[in-house]
Amino acid sequence: MDAIGISAERADFFKSLTEKSDGGKLRGDYTLADAQYVVAQDWAAYTPEQHALWRRLYQRQAKLLPGRACDVFMDSLAKMDAADGIPNFARTSDLLFKTTGWRLVAVPGLVPDHTFFEHLAHRRFPVTVWLREPHEFDYIVEPDVFHDFFGHVPLLFNPIFAGHLQQYGQGGLKALQLDGLPYLARLYWYTVEFGLIRSPQGLRAYGAGILSSGGEIGYCLTDPTPRRIPFEVERVMRTRYKIDSYQETYFVIDSFEQLFKDTAPDFSPIYARLKQMEPLPADSLLPGEIDLPAAGRHAS
């Protein structure tokens, strides 16, 4: 499992940052961060052992991707040329900027919600600089450079997804004003982190939490246990999620165009409605909902 509690944890972490005098609870080094929490990557400081660990993580995932990751992810990852060691963000950032106008910025770890949304709204994706330790090969609680870079950056090369994430950043700033953050966080969780997408060849993963995980990438597609339900914005925003286990439900989009279009309307009335309702447990199935069958067993 590398279920990573991105949105929920970001909030928790920031609480610990502001409430505890010994900011030492945070894993990254925040002392050199600027007002936007940006640091220098200091690529030369990574050790040969860290580059070797990256290669092991990369190779394990690369083997699992064919037939499981969506095509956009596969194609972009190949272009990023990141197999040989922890990548130099500046190089990928330049390539990305030419493709979709996004840049990568290095951060010490989780950043406050407002800062995170500001970055996205300006087409900057924050990438954590530190790499997990060898004993965290299979499971990591906080996002590290492997999750952030390998899991998230490839889709930023797709113009529609890239546009969606910028809109999400703007929507996040708005949600902060409207007390809508818990709902928006669920949307992020069930799409950007744990989303599935249909393809002519069958179900595929596009969520970064899945694609950077050695276990969940198989589980989410072929295990009979979890639900796979067609994506619907308000339904997703009502649904709780698990941050310390594989997901009990995955929501399935038909295309990134659908994700972009369905999230375009003003969320204010949705937030207002959801505040009057109880959230749904993570394993709910509502009347009339289809629980899509698991994909057939993968050949390899």
Q: Binding of ligand PHE at residue 168 (CB under 6 A)?
A: yes
Q: What's phi and psi for 127, nearest 5 deg?
A: -120, 125
Sequence-distant (6+) residues with CB within 8 A of 80 are 87, 92, 95, 153, 154, 157
Cβ at position 267, least distance to ligand PHE in Å: 3
- SS3 for 253? strand
Nearest to Fe ion of 246, 270 (CB atom): 246
Angle at 76 between CA 72 and CA 79, to 5 degrees: 155
Closest residue to Fe ion: CB criterion: 6
Nearest to 5 by CA among 133, 141, 108: 141
Selection from ligand PHE, Fe ion, none that 154 binds (CB < 5 to 8 A by kind) is none
With respect to ligand PHE, which residue has the nearer C-beta, 7 or 263?
Answer: 263
| Residue range at the interface with ligand PHE (CB under 6 A); choices 8-16, 47-55, 104-112, 165-173 | 165-173
Q: In terms of CB distance, is 6 or 131 closer to Fe ion?
A: 6
6 binds, among ligand PHE, Fe ion, none (CB under 5 to 8 A by kind): Fe ion
The residue within the footprint of ligand PHE, chosen from 264, 272, 285, 286 (CB under 6 A), is: 264
The helices-and-strands tally (H runs, E runs) of the chain is 13, 6
Q: Which two tokens stand for residue 108?
A: 């010490």
Closer CB to Fe ion, 6 or 38, in the complex: 6
Structure tokens at 131: 């790499």
The entry of Fe ion, ligand PHE, none that residue 82 binds, CB within 5 to 8 Å by partner kind: none
Q: CB 263 → ligand PHE: shortest distance, Å?
A: 4
Please identify, using beta-carbon distances, which residue of 130 and 251 lies nearer to ligand PHE.
Answer: 251
State the helix-helix crossing angle for 6-19 and 113-121, rounded to 10 degrees: 130
The verdict on 266 binding ligand PHE (CB under 6 A) reads yes
Strands 202-205 and 196-199, by their bridges, are antiparallel
**How far is residue 118's CA from residue 115's CA, in Å, rounded to a whole number?**
5
Partner interacting with residue 264 (select from ligand PHE, Fe ion, none; CB below 5-8 Å by kind): ligand PHE
Helix (H, G, I), strand (E, B) or coil at 205: strand
Instruction: Please identify, using beta-carbon distances, which residue of 28 and 172 lies nearer to ligand PHE.
Output: 172
The contact mask relative to ligand PHE for 171-210 (x = CB under 6 A, - = no) is: x--x------------------------------------
Which residues have C-beta within 8 Å of that of residue 205, sequence separation ≥ 6?
68, 69, 70, 73, 195, 196, 197, 211, 217, 220, 221
Q: Report whether 241 contacts 282 (CB < 8 A).
A: yes
- How near is the Cβ of 248 to Fe ion at its closest, in Å? 19
Instruction: Establish if 161 lies at the interface with ligand PHE (CB under 6 A).
Output: no
Rule CB under 6 A: is residue 265 a binding residue for ligand PHE? yes
Binding site for ligand PHE (CB under 6 A): 164, 167-168, 171, 174, 263-267
